[in-house]
Amino acid sequence: EDELSLLVIVIDTNPIWWGKRALGEAEFTLSKCIDAVMVLGNSHLFMNRTNKLAVIASHTQESRFLYPGKRWASADPFGDGGSSMESNCSGSKDGKYELLTAINDAIAEEIKDLMTKTEMKGQQTETLLAGSLAKALCCILLITESSKPLSNQEMKSRILVIKAAEDSTLQYMNFMNVIFAAQKQSILVDACVLDSDSGLLQQACDITGGIYLKVPHMPSLLQYLLWVFLPDQEQRSQLVLPPPVHVDYRAACFCHRNLIEIGYVCSVCLSIFCNFSPICSTCETAFKISLPPVMKAKKKKLKLA
């Protein structure tokens, strides 16, 4: 029985982070990262005839689908990609399966286009990760719906995020909305973090049941991808994988951004404060302060002489 498994890879292509890396030591560059991702994608498609793949690049200006891109929409994008694709690509030069060559070429074309031709507008330095995850969820929904009439098997989907730059705390609310939506649809979110630990992705992996891994040695990225992130949900229970990380679920107070263990929550807007204050700074509600009951002064009875 063939099980349908869909893997969506979201790659962080923050040009500022990758640019800084290229200036430093050129051992691990974006092209090496994309090579590793291509091998992972090909391996996933090899695991089972019916597996499906999608790759999204997360940039500071936009999120772009590297595969399947718009040029695939004219043909059946999630089918075998047979005859109509051969007219687009030059054919496999090393005897590789046609579909994989086509996919690798499409990814390479799109990423070159994205990195060279995108205009950098404004002052944004942060990756639009929440937006890419939202588009990934919509894409998973589309593929799940379109494959429902073809087979009775349930489609199991997961998203792998390869994160390079730091977290963007401004996207917290959108990110949490996306993660709760993924949890509701039973979609796993795995995270492979290249540089600095990401609290948001740790929470995401904990909530959805995925694996979080901070890569100790970046040039060996492919080994980690194939070892940890290639097996699907059912196979994971039979393997020894990195243990769950300790997730810090403490809330940050709205006034100082400190992590607190005990705080005060406004009942109207649910903002969290570390100290009691009579007015909520977010929604400007005046709070009712319960005072101890006022004792009436007892009237002293005057003794009449």
Partner 1 sequence: EILKEDESGSLKATIDDILFKAKRKRLYEHHGQVRLGMMRHLYVVVDGSRTMEDQDLKPNRLTCTLKLLEYFVEEYFDQNPISQIGLIVTKSKRAEKMTELSGNSKKHVTALKKAVDMNCSGEPSLYNSLNLAMQTLKHMPGHTSREILVVFSSLTTCDPANIYDLIKCLKAVKIRVSVIGLSAEVRVCTVLARETGGTYHVILDESHFKELLMHHVSPPPASSSSECSLIRMGFPQHTIASLSDQDAKPSFSMVQLENNSEPSLTLGGYFCPQCRAKYCELPVECKICGLTLVSAPHLARSYHHLFPLDAFQEVPLEEYKGERYCQGCQGEMKDQNVYICKVCQNAFCVECDLFVHDSLHCCPGCIHEHPAPISV
* Interaction site with partner 1 (CB under 8 A): 62-63, 65, 68-70, 73, 122, 124, 126, 128, 130-131, 134-135, 137-139, 141-142, 145-146, 170-174, 176-178, 180-181, 184-185, 203, 207, 244, 246-252, 254-255, 260-270, 272-273, 276-277, 280-281, 285-288, 290
Smallest gap, in angstroms, from Cβ of residue 128 to partner 1? 5
Question: Which tokens belong to 241?
Answer: 């994988």
Choice between 96 and 250, CB closer to partner 1: 250
Closer Cβ to partner 1, 150 or 265, answer by number = 265
Q: Are 12 and 164 in contact (CB under 8 A)?
A: yes
Distance of closest approach, residue 72 Cβ to partner 1, in angstroms: 9
Query: Do the Cβ atoms of 164 and 14 come closer than 8 Å?
Result: yes
Q: How far is the CB of 148 from partner 1 (least distance, A)?
A: 12
At its nearest, how many Å lie between partner 1 and the CB of residue 247? 7
User: Least distance (Å) from partner 1 to the CB of residue 281?
Assistant: 7
Position of tokens 């994008």? 77
65 vs 224, beta carbon nearer partner 1: 65
Sole residue written with tokens 């807007």? 269
For residues 21 and 32, is the Cβ–Cβ distance under 8 A?
no
- Residue closer to partner 1, measured from CB, 137 or 164: 137
Q: How far is the CB of 100 from partner 1 (least distance, A)?
A: 21
Given a contact cutoff of 8 angstroms between Cβ atoms, the answer to whether 138 and 80 are in contact is: no
Q: How far is the CB of 176 from partner 1 (least distance, A)?
A: 4
Minimum distance, C-beta of residue 235 to partner 1, in the bound complex (Å) = 23
Quick one: 150 or 268, whose CB is closer to partner 1?
268
Which of residues 119 and 261 has its CB atom nearest to partner 1 in the complex? 261
Nearest residue (CB) to partner 1, 46 versus 180: 180
Q: Which two tokens stand for residue 105?
A: 């070429």
Closest CA to 73 of 106, 34, 115, 33: 106
* Residue 63, SS3 per DSSP: strand
Q: What distances in angstroms separate CA 292 from CA 276, 289, 295, 298, one per listed residue? A: 17, 10, 9, 18
Q: Give the span between the Cα atoms of 56 and 255, in whole angstroms.
A: 36
Which amino acid is located at 286 in the chain? A
Q: Which is nearer to partner 1, 3 or 254 (CB)?
A: 254
Q: How far, in whole angstroms, is CA 2 from its chain's centroid?
A: 27
- Terminal-residue alpha carbon distance, the chain: 107
For 56, counting Cβ atoms within 10 Å of its Cβ (0-12 exposed, 13-18 middle, 19+ buried), the class is buried
Query: Do strands 52-58 and 63-67 pair parallel, antiparallel, or not at all (unpaired)?
Result: antiparallel
C-beta of 51 vs 131, nearer to partner 1: 131
Please state, in angstroms and as integers, the Cα–Cα distance from residue 21 to each residue in 25, 26, 155, 165, 222, following that order: 6, 7, 38, 11, 18
The least distance separating partner 1 from the CB of residue 257, rounded to whole angstroms, comes to: 9
